[in-house]
Amino acid sequence: MTNPATYKVKGMHCASCSAIIERTIGKQAGVNSVSVNYANEKAKIDFDSSKTSIENLSKSIEPLGYSIVAENVAIETGEGKKLLAPLATTHQHTEVDNLRRKIRIAIPLVILTSIIMVWELLVSPFEILPEMPEILKEFFHHLLPVIATYAMFVTGNTYLKGIWTFIRHGAANMDTLIGIGTSTAYLYSFIITAFEEPLSQYINTAYTYYDVTIVVIGLITLGKYLEARSKLRTGDAIKKLLNLQVKTAIVIRNGKEMEISVDQVAHNDLILVKPGMKIPVDGIVEKGSTNIDESMLTGEPIPVLKQEGDKIAAGTINTTGSITMKATGVGSETLLAHIIKMVEEAQGSRAPIQKLADKISGIFVPIVLVISAVTLILWLAVGSQFMAFSQALSFGLVAFVSILVIACPCALGLATPTAIIVGVGKGALNGILIKNAEVLEKLYKIDTLVIDKTGTITKGKPEVLDIKISEEKDKKEILSILATLEKHSEHPLAESIVNYAKKKNIPFKSAADFKNIPGKGITASVNDITYFAGSSGFIAEMKIPFDEKTIEEIAKKGLTPIILATKKEPLAIVGIGDALKEEAREAIEKLHSMKIKIIMATGRRRQRRACTRKIQRRHCHVHRHRCLHRNKRHHSPARRHQKNRPGHYPLPLHYAHNKTKFILGVHLQHHRNTAGKRHILSIVWLAFISGICRAGHGLFQRIGSHQFSKT
């Protein structure tokens, strides 16, 4: 039975390490495939558990200095498993702490050594500083060997292990290069120091390379520390997604309420969810009704009414009533778990261009070793024909060490995966899910952008945008009455009216006899006068006359009209809608200048018309204006035949028939706590940058939505 899973790998130090681990594990019996990512130190292994085990695979790489962490971070199957293990595992923190302790001592020693080196350089040949006092020169002459010994065997012990691994198993990585280079410089200098007088007859014993050993090991260790610390931060996106998970749940078992860990929730458990609490697992409403804030999944700012039998998802927020739900999806089965898993897999995926870098990294170290050895031999064999042997040896040794130290393949193997991790993580935090690195790399080819309206080109939150009140009425008094009624309402639109009143410093009054008529409106008494607030249909049922023309004008703007009336007459009509983002027009014009066609997929004709008028119709074409949110993916241009139909915009592209055209579907999540973020301009920036560096085409989607896919 195959058991594909992702595991943390301990002991990786460079891009060559990933190639070594892949080759070693790939040779083991029962292993179908293995992919190692150096940037996040993970290995995705598909193996037959009847032929081998993860323990055996770990033992196969332990002699090389690596090991597989027992706890996997993303199991593919199983119930009740942890969704993801923390990216910053204990051994990663330990590694950072160890490196921090090393550099606290190593860096001051590097600075001291560098001062001595600079002083000698400014004395000769520049003659800027005077000669170092003899007593000071003698002091440093004996001090540098001590410092170099500490640097070599304490700070640089990992590089010595790299040499030993290379000798025993023939596996060379960056540590091998650094170890051979610095140990050669150290041993040469130590031999000269120990046998200075006998050797002075054959070579120049005035020059040693202790400073090279100290500076190289110190700076490389500093680089390793900075790299290890940055790796801890690349998991911030996953951490924030993990924070959406609920830690505990209130379950009802044997008629008793008990609070347990969410990992212990089982299928068909009855769970009590009170107002303000997050939904702990996926399930259906068993008893009660409430409004659920699903913005973290759908981006829609208005909470959705959920009644008995309706499905609800983990991570969403119960805003109003108390409900009892039945668990249908727990652990790794929840929608939130799949989202986290998708982001995690995308961060670990490889772009096609990275395959080339990995191939080069795999053979880079052996090639560098050969080049450095050949260089040293040529200096000794050929250089000694034109200069003294001691001088040729000195030049050859410097060249040998320089090649080994400078030619580190870290940047080659680290740049692409790190960019993918950071890019995918930042996208997830802004509501953009990127499927994998391959689609990201193809982003520069897009010529059509399919966007949702709510939260993408609009603010994603209802606001009071229009107010119609008769001139003879006191506007402030009328709004005070309306805000007083809506303050007692649980309807999502009521909050926008209350917020508007607070913003305008409009006082609230006392209300009595409040009644809520579900789906229609509310009624209450203020100063012994009964008022009604709600939809035009509700006011019509009350047989209160109102101006239908005004209602139609507000509706044409894409707004939802709310009427305030007494038993005799209407007092005010308030238009509530989703305001356009200030940067929307600028973003769309920028995309248009890049020759990218914009298609807005929306389900409301009037709001669509109002929106497109504001952002210039010529830049934004509307597609399938009456499709429901869950059906938008089925009506994307990639799923339509090319023919004119009423209410549809004819598009000259189709995945199945025109492979040169690409569509980018963008759904952005609205964040309540990040109001004002320039989501659209981020997309423009992403498309612009990737167009320069050829870093990707992707099918973005709002969290929880399905992807636009090929037909």
Positions marked catalytic = 452
Please work out, in degrees rounded to the nearest 5, the angle formed at the alpha carbon of residue 213 by the alpha carbons of 209 and 214: 115
The DSSP annotation for 391-423 comes to: HHHHHHHHHHHHHHHH---HHHHHHHHHHHHHH
Contact 234, 39 (CB under 8 A): yes
601 to 432, 625, 663: CA distances (angstroms): 17, 6, 13
Phi, psi torsion values for 544, nearest 5 degrees: -105, 120
- DSSP H or E stretch at residue 75: strand 74-75
* Burial (0-12, 13-18, 19+ Cβ within 10 Å), 254: exposed
Task: Give residue for tokens 């007494």.
Answer: 566
How is residue 668 written in tokens?
A: 């952005």
Taking Cα atoms as reference points, which of 297, 328, 204, 390 lies closest to residue 705? 297
Task: Compute the distance between CA of residue 16 and CA of residue 6 in angstroms, rounded to an integer.
Answer: 20
Contacts of 397 (CB under 8 A, 6+ apart): 184, 185, 188, 209, 376
The single-letter DSSP state of residue 151 is I
Task: Compute the distance between CA of residue 428 and CA of residue 230 in angstroms, rounded to an integer.
Answer: 18
Please work out, in degrees rounded to the nearest 5, the angle formed at the alpha carbon of residue 643 by the alpha carbons of 638 and 644: 115
| Residue 121 CA to its chain's centroid (Å) | 47
* Greatest pairwise CA separation for the chain in angstroms: 118
| Share of the chain residues as helix, strand and coil, in percent rounded to the nearest 5 | 50, 20, 35
3-state SS of 497-522? HHHHHHHCCCCCCCCEEEEEECCCEE
Helix (H, G, I), strand (E, B) or coil at 560: strand
Helix (H, G, I), strand (E, B) or coil at 533: strand
Taking Cα atoms as reference points, which of 705, 679, 701, 236 lies closest to residue 432? 701
Helix (H, G, I), strand (E, B) or coil at 275: coil
Helix (H, G, I), strand (E, B) or coil at 563: strand
Taking Cα atoms as reference points, which of 118, 149, 142 lies closest to residue 214? 149
Task: Compute the distance between CA of residue 683 and CA of residue 583 in angstroms, rounded to an integer.
Answer: 12
Task: Compute the distance between CA of residue 272 and CA of residue 318 in angstroms, rounded to an integer.
Answer: 11
Please work out, in degrees rounded to the nearest 5, the angle formed at the alpha carbon of residue 632 by the alpha carbons of 627 and 636: 115
Task: Provide the CB-side half-sphere exposure for 451 (13 A, CA).
Answer: 29
The runs of H, that is alpha helices, within 293-351 are 295-298, 335-348
Q: Where are the beta strands (DSSP E) in 546-672?
A: 560-565, 570-580, 597-601, 620-623, 663-666
